[in-house]
């Protein structure tokens, strides 16, 4: 898991509870905003991130 302390708090969208989605440029990542760790990355679309969290 990667450290996300350098990510601006305005750079992600909270989707469900403690999970948020961040645009990494080449794809999207799901992060845990409490632990500041990446849960999944290289997801092709924002909608796929939302579906994954459901």
For every one of its 54 residues, what pLDDT tens digit does the chain have, with 9 covering 90 and above? Answer: 555 556 555 678 888 889 999 988 888 999 998 888 889 999 999 999 999 888
pLDDT score at 43? 94
Is 3 domain-assigned? no
Residue 6 CA from chain centroid, whole number: 13
Q: How many domains does the chain have?
A: 1
Domain membership of residue 6 (yes or no) is no
1 within some domain: no
Domain assignment present for 23: yes
Q: Which two tokens stand for residue 1?
A: 């898991």
On whether residue 33 sits in a domain, the answer given is yes
3-state SS, one letter per residue, for the chain:
CCECCCCCCCCEEEEECCEEEEECCCCEEEEECCCCEEEEEEECCHHHHHHHHC
Tokens of 24: 């990494």
Domain assignment of residue 39, yes or no = yes
In terms of pTM, does the model score above 0.85?
A: no
């Amino acid at each position: 898991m990667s450290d996300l302390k350098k990510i601006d708090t305005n750079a992600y969208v909270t989707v469900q509870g403690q999970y948020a989605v961040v645009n990494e440029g080449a794809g999207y990542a799901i992060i845990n905003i409490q632990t500041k760790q990446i849960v999944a990355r290289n997801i092709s679309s924002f909608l796929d991130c939302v579906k994954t969290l459901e």
